[in-house]
Amino acid sequence: MKKSRASESAGANPYRGLPPVNELLETPALARWLNKLPRPLLTSVVREVLDQCRREIERANGKTDLSLPQLVSRVNTQLEQSQPQVLDEVINATGILIHTGLGRAPLSSRAIGAIAQASAGYTALELDLATGQRGHRVDAVRGQLCALTGAESATVVNNNAAALLIALGTLATGKQVIVSRGELIEIGGSFRLPQVMAASGALLMEVGTTNKTRISDYASAVTEQTGALLKVHPSNYQITGFTQSAAIDELATLGHKHHLPVIHDIGSGALFDLAVTGSSDEPVARNSIDAGADLVLFSGDKLIGGPQAGLIVGRRKYVEQIERNPLMRALRVDKLTLAALSATLSSLIDPQQAARELPLWMMIAAPIEELRQRAEQVAGALESRAARIRAEVVASTAHIGGGSLPSQGLPSAAVALSSDRVSEDELARRLRSGTPPVVGRLQNGRLFVDLRTVLPRQDESLVEALVAAIGN
Ligand SMILES: *Cc1c(COP(=O)(O)O)cnc(C)c1O
């Protein structure tokens, strides 16, 4: 204390007017930060502000009229602006349910409880309590995944890209993997199938054409060099018209004739037919297993509605090989992911239970009349509290997103916002920088606030955020 006080006040006279760091920190207005932020962080912010002041004093040739309250208020502003906001809650009004930019699926209260419980103390993560021997961390969810998909075994890695990386790297490194040209997909920019394959050490063997690939194309490409057959669900686009692709059961028959593993990357991970969304296009994990796929890969945070994870289900011998790969250590998931995943899977008994317990499935299943009513309420509140903004309830189309069901829209209701005084881009910007931030969707010159992706408990803060951001 003494030392810093001395060094703070040392130096040329003009800076004498500036208080030492500790004195500033002990003013009541700043002391409240001490139980929110670590002291070294506070100290560095105070130093930064004092340095700015010194530069100002220098520019003013040594004159300063900065008072203590002014300094305190500068530090306060700086601290408020430097608060990390990345992981604060955002209202998703985009109408895209699985929005990678907004963190994909919100977790169920059961999953949140499981995370809280697993994180507060110790868990038998890798200990078999019955025998006292070493267990495997995935044992917690292996049985659930097998029961839900009909697979012999299952394992979990960090995400679906990692699942593909380790599956190919284990079963086909240095060998050719045969894939249809129509399935060489890119998802969200950073996932490009050929690049993931190159990273795994497997060699890409493209067959067929963009719109047509027959089973005979695969058959004539099989050689001594072949390590696996791969089918990838082209999640985020559709090839329509004059098209053909080989079905997974045809690939399984061909693969097994040559003793080759057949891998199916189904992407979103539907566990049951999505009749509720009016679609049956999304491959169901169990159907692929039934059709003979040796490994089926999918994400934990797309249609499963759980935490980020890559789920691998299929033949025991291949799952065991994957688990012995040293890469497994780098791609494994932590206890919080496993806790959340296990809780999520226990809600996926059937679509009805999923729609009662998982936020993603509640949003998918929300009746349109209910969404329209909520939109009316939001628009009504804006009419009385933000009269200069035009707010009209309109029909909208929400999307599952995350690469699921590209052509499928879910009917939805939105509040369309517009103003004579500010552009829709400016409205969008103001909403994004509000508290909480609201992310809407620009459509036909208006800003849509789509209610299907707004969690019902957020309706009130949505209105507050809209009024505060654009009300005047
Ligand atoms: C989304 C997707 C991936 C990537 O999954 P992540 O869990 O985001 O790593 C891979 N393959 C397909 C077919 C996908 O749809």
What pLDDT digit, counting tens, does each position of 397-429 carry?
A: 999 887 655 556 899 999 999 998 889 999 999
Q: Is residue 95 lining ligand 1, measured as CB closer than 6 Å?
A: no
pLDDT for the residue 472:
66
Q: Is residue 269 lining ligand 1, measured as CB closer than 6 Å?
A: no
Residues 42-53, mean pLDDT to the nearest whole number: 90
Q: Is residue 159 lining ligand 1, measured as CB closer than 6 Å?
A: yes
Q: Is residue 434 lining ligand 1, measured as CB closer than 6 Å?
A: no
Residues 376-385, mean pLDDT to the nearest whole number: 94
pLDDT for the residue 237:
58
pLDDT for the residue 67:
84
pLDDT for the residue 407:
56
Compute the Cα dihedral for 355, 106, 409, 452 and give only its sign: positive
Mutate which of 164, 263, 265, 304 to test ligand 1's pocket (most atoms within 8 Å of Cβ)?
Answer: 265
Cis peptide bond upstream of 14, omega within 30 = no
Burial label for 223, CB within 10 Å (0-12, 13-18, 19+), is exposed
Residues 147-172, mean pLDDT to the nearest whole number: 97
Measure the CA–CA gap between 43 and 364, rounded to whole angstroms.
48
The values of phi and psi at residue 157, to 5°, are -130, -175
pLDDT for the residue 405:
52
Percentage of the chain with pLDDT > 90? 64
Which residue's CA is the nearest one to ligand 1's atom 6?
Answer: 160
Residues 330-352, mean pLDDT to the nearest whole number: 96
Which residue's CA is the nearest one to ligand 1's atom 7?
Answer: 160
Q: Which residue has the higher pLDDT, 388 or 207?
A: 207
CA 111–ligand 1 middle distance (angstroms) = 22
pLDDT for the residue 238:
62
Do residues 443 and 392 touch, judged by C-beta distance below 8 A? no
Residues 462-472, mean pLDDT to the nearest whole number: 88
Do residues 311 and 145 touch, judged by C-beta distance below 8 A? yes
pLDDT for the residue 404:
54
Mutate which of 164, 235, 237 to test ligand 1's pocket (most atoms within 8 Å of Cβ)?
Answer: 235
Among the ranges given (274-288, 299-313, 374-388, 431-445), the one the predictor scored with the smallest mean pLDDT: 274-288
Q: How confident is the model at residue 7 (pLDDT cuts 50, 70, 90)?
A: very low
CA 419–ligand 1 middle distance (angstroms) = 39
Q: How confident is the model at residue 15 (pLDDT cuts 50, 70, 90)?
A: low
**Largest pairwise CA distance in the chain:** 89
- Beta-ladder partners of 446: 443
Q: Is residue 299 lining ligand 1, measured as CB closer than 6 Å?
A: yes
Do residues 202 and 166 touch, judged by C-beta distance below 8 A? no
Q: How confident is the model at residue 236 (pLDDT cuts 50, 70, 90)?
A: low
pLDDT for the residue 146:
98
E strands in 172-330 = 176-180, 186-187, 191-192, 203-207, 226-232, 262-267, 295-299, 310-314
pLDDT for the residue 287:
95
Q: Which residue has the higher pLDDT, 402 or 101?
A: 101
Q: Is residue 170 lining ligand 1, measured as CB closer than 6 Å?
A: no
Tell me which residue has tokens 């206890």. Answer: 335
Q: How confident is the model at residue 471 (pLDDT cuts 50, 70, 90)?
A: confident
Residues 93-113, mean pLDDT to the nearest whole number: 95
Give the nearest ligand 1 atom to 100 CA. Answer: 8
pLDDT for the residue 88:
81
Compute the Cα dihedral for 107, 113, 119, 120 and give only its sign: positive
Mean pLDDT of the chain: 89
Residues 94-119, mean pLDDT to the nearest whole number: 95
User: Does residue 59 carry a pLDDT above 90?
Assistant: no
- Beta-ladder partners of 229: 178, 262
pLDDT for the residue 17:
73
Q: How confident is the model at residue 4 (pLDDT cuts 50, 70, 90)?
A: very low
User: Does residue 149 carry a pLDDT above 80?
Assistant: yes
Q: Is residue 404 lining ligand 1, measured as CB closer than 6 Å?
A: no
Q: Is residue 282 lining ligand 1, measured as CB closer than 6 Å?
A: no
Q: How confident is the model at residue 80 (pLDDT cuts 50, 70, 90)?
A: confident
pLDDT for the residue 189:
60
Measure the CA–CA gap between 388 and 361, rounded to whole angstroms.
36
pLDDT for the residue 275:
60
3-state secondary structure at position 399 = strand
pLDDT for the residue 299:
96
pTM of the model: 0.84
Q: How confident is the model at residue 11 (pLDDT cuts 50, 70, 90)?
A: very low
Measure the CA–CA gap between 343 and 359, rounded to whole angstroms.
13
Q: What digits encode the pLDDT tens for the residues 244-292?
A: 888 999 999 999 999 999 999 999 889 988 765 555 578 999 999 999 9
Residues 99-109, mean pLDDT to the nearest whole number: 94
Which residue's CA is the nearest one to ligand 1's atom 12?
Answer: 267
pLDDT for the residue 315:
98
Do residues 332 and 158 touch, judged by C-beta distance below 8 A? yes
Which residue's CA is the nearest one to ligand 1's atom 2?
Answer: 267
Give the nearest ligand 1 atom to 268 CA. Answer: 15
Q: Is residue 351 lining ligand 1, measured as CB closer than 6 Å?
A: no
Q: Which residue has the higher pLDDT, 142 or 20?
A: 142
pLDDT for the residue 10:
42
Residues 442-463, mean pLDDT to the nearest whole number: 95
Q: How confident is the model at residue 176 (pLDDT cuts 50, 70, 90)?
A: very high
Q: What angle do CA 198, 200, 206 make, to 5 degrees?
A: 45
Question: Between the CA of residue 432 and those of 83, 156, 377, 447, 465, what are the distances in Å?
Answer: 16, 35, 21, 12, 10
